Chains A and B, each alone.
Chain A
Amino acid sequence: MTTEFTPYAALIGGAMIGTASVLLMLLHGRIFGATGILAGILFPAGARDWSWRVMVVLGMVSAPLVYLLFAGRFPPIQSVASVPWQVVGGFLVGIGVTIGSGCTSGHGVCGMARLSKRSIAATLTFMASTALTVYVMRHVLGG
């Protein structure tokens, strides 16, 4: 399935992700990692720590509605996996980010920006693992 190369939208969207990460540190003193924020909701460490996380996720979830308001349509979601594969993929992502303490936002953006060796090692590892998986799914198993 081909997708259009969209460098400007990617750069602008990326800058927005970066701005949100910087402002969350400035205002709340927190790393903007989806894994960590979600973990703090599932396993609460007090009401004050729980409430801001819930609000961040509510803000995230309402983004497509705001997008719809301006663009007149929802952002495109082109699925690459059948339902059983979504279940397998989702389960592995959940296990991996919990054991590895972070994902693309926490390690890949915030950790790399702090030049954390841990995050750089994790990011290089999951990027390689993802690339290899995509190769196997598309060119070995066929898709």
Chain B
Amino acid sequence: MRLISAYLLGLLFGLGITISGMGNPAKVVNFFDVAGSWDPSLAFVMAGALAITFIGYRLVLARPRPLQEDRFFLPTSRVIDARLLGGAVIFGIGWGISGFCPGGALPVIGTFNADVLIFTAAMLAGILAARLMLKRRELALAARSAA
């Protein structure tokens, strides 16, 4: 049941991405191209998603726990630091170049389009590289505080 619902929610999300045009790089990039071929559709995607999630989360998070787990898994970090904002800047550069974000690219992998497959492979490499870098930094910091 838990795995079936996970599958169906992934499917619902993926259909939302493909129907809304978030999986189409030209549409995404045109949203940001106010000085050129502007297409405001993306604002409607965000508005639709945020309206439902804003109201839905208030109802759901008022419950003591989710239906299939014994607690909610919510991010606990509160700090707005250079790491958060630097990461966001780098992500934005990549998104602006390719027009794919992770949630936009993953569903359209299913079309076997060559560009999205190449993008996703490079993205996975980037995730691994960043993880490695963060791990090294952590180890270096731990070594420094131990010394």
Contacts and interface: CB of A to CB of B under 8 A. Distances in A.
Interface of A: 1-7, 9-35, 38-39, 42-43, 51-53, 55-67, 74-81, 83, 85-101, 103-105, 107-114, 116-118, 121-123, 125-139
Contact of A51 (B3, B9, B113): B3
A93 B95 contact: yes
Size range of the chain B interface in the assembly: 35 or more
Contact of B88 (A55, A116, A125, A138): A125
Among the interface residues B52, B69, B113, which one has the most CB atoms of the partner chain A within 10 A? B52
A3 B56 contact: no
Contacts of A76: 24
Given A6-B21, A90-B98, A23 B9 contact: yes
Contact of B124 (A42, A88, A137): A42
A96 B39 CA distance: 25
Contacts, number: 486
B129 A95 contact: yes
Contacts of B104: 104
B134 interface: yes
Given A96-B93, A134-B33, A63 B50 contact: no
B78 interface: yes
Given A98-B126, A113-B50, A114-B57, A126 B110 contact: no
B88 A131 contact: no
Contact of B39 (A2, A21, A63, A81): A2
A42 B135 CA distance: 15
A84 B100 CA distance: 14
Contact of B26 (A1, A16, A56, A64): A1
Nearest to B77: A118
Contacts of B125: 90-91, 94
A60 B66 CA distance: 22
Nearest to A21: B53
Contacts of A28: 2, 5-6, 9, 66, 68-69
